[in-house]
Amino acid sequence: MNGNGYMKSISYLIIFLLSVLNVSPAYTEMTTSIPVLVYHEIVTTDDREPNEVVIKLDKFKEQMDFLAEQGYSTLSMDELVEFMKGKKSVPEKSIVLTFDDGWKNVLNAVPVLEQYNFKASFWIIAGDWFGPDYMDWAQVKELDRHPNFEVESHTVTHPWNKDSNLLTWLDGKPLGKGIKDVKYEIYESKKILEGQLNRPVKYLAWPCGWYNERLIKIAKKAGYQALLTTWQEPSRRGDDIYQVKRLYVDGSCSMEIFKRILAEGKPYNCNEKNISITAPVFKEK
Ligand SMILES: [Zn+2]
């Protein structure tokens, strides 16, 4: 067999293997990694300094314009999970848009998302602590009724204190806090949202992205089918659906940096006051 014949048989072998594995070459060209972007507040006033959790509406719109121009497809949570499990192929340019905390000003994003028919998920703090800065139940329900939007859980009270959060409670700190409080946040938020939305709630995002193996176990038992972190990487096919990675979009970064976040799949920190982007993932055993 000469060199050419050898190469030919190798390529036949590859084609044969691909067909046996039911993988067409077109399929392998499909994306294997998806940026799941995290936004928090979408502001219209000049008195708010943009940072990792605050972005001006103009800049947000510019980013969405870019995604639309580039032909990005937005995915629902179900679609993302199916992709990660390897059960669904998705367009090469796919992206997931998530909005944490249920800020009222996030409603500023809705007309922009609607303009492009973009899908998005809104991660709601289910407790009755809504202040004027947060959406009320009528607004939350209206979002959930939207065919392209979904509302998911972000616990009951969003424990955010470094010394008093889901992780410290697991260890009985501070005094008086324990596993029952952890379970309440995880189980009760699901129950409250399901009562309000009249449908099963399948997904949870950890407050501040803080979690560990024990919390994952509790959340699985509560019935959640995927869990969102702020582990700063794109989500890939075959990744753990109970540790979905997401990328912060720092509102103080330029459009050039936004493009780099998408292309490189890593976050950029453009404001020295940011804390979450630079902080290591808080993921204790
Ligand atoms: Zn949050």
207 CA distance to ligand 1 middle (Å): 5
- Whether 218 maps to a domain, the answer reads yes
257 CA distance to ligand 1 middle (Å): 23
100 CA distance to ligand 1 middle (Å): 5
- Whether 8 maps to a domain, the answer reads no
- Whether 70 maps to a domain, the answer reads yes
At residue 31, the pLDDT reads 76
At residue 32, the pLDDT reads 84
CB 132 within 8 A of CB 116: no
274 CA distance to ligand 1 middle (Å): 15
246 CA distance to ligand 1 middle (Å): 13
174 CA distance to ligand 1 middle (Å): 21
At residue 128, the pLDDT reads 75
- Whether 102 maps to a domain, the answer reads yes
Strands 41-43 and 54-56 come out as parallel
- Whether 114 maps to a domain, the answer reads yes
For residue 172, what is the domain's CATH number? 3.20.20.370
208 CA distance to ligand 1 middle (Å): 5
Q: What is the pLDDT of residues 156-196, one digit of tens each?
A: 999 999 999 999 999 999 999 999 999 999 999 999 999 99
The three-state (H, E, C) secondary structure of 200-217, written as one string: CCCEEECHHHCCCHHHHH
List the chain residues with pLDDT less than 70.
1-30, 129-130, 278-285
CB 122 within 8 A of CB 96: no
At residue 3, the pLDDT reads 52
81 CA distance to ligand 1 middle (Å): 21
CB 103 within 8 A of CB 134: yes
- Whether 106 maps to a domain, the answer reads yes
| Domain, as residue range, for 255 | 30-264
At residue 285, the pLDDT reads 36
At residue 21, the pLDDT reads 54
53 CA distance to ligand 1 middle (Å): 9
At residue 272, the pLDDT reads 85
At residue 27, the pLDDT reads 42
Domains identified in the chain, total number: 1
- Whether 251 maps to a domain, the answer reads yes
- Whether 217 maps to a domain, the answer reads yes
DSSP 32-86: SEE-EEEE-EEE-STTS--BTTEEEHHHHHHHHHHHHHTT-EE--HHHHHHHHTT
At residue 4, the pLDDT reads 56
At residue 214, the pLDDT reads 98
How far is the C-alpha of 63 from the C-alpha of 72, rounded, in Å?
11
**Residues β-bridged to residue 99:** 39, 122
29 CA distance to ligand 1 middle (Å): 35
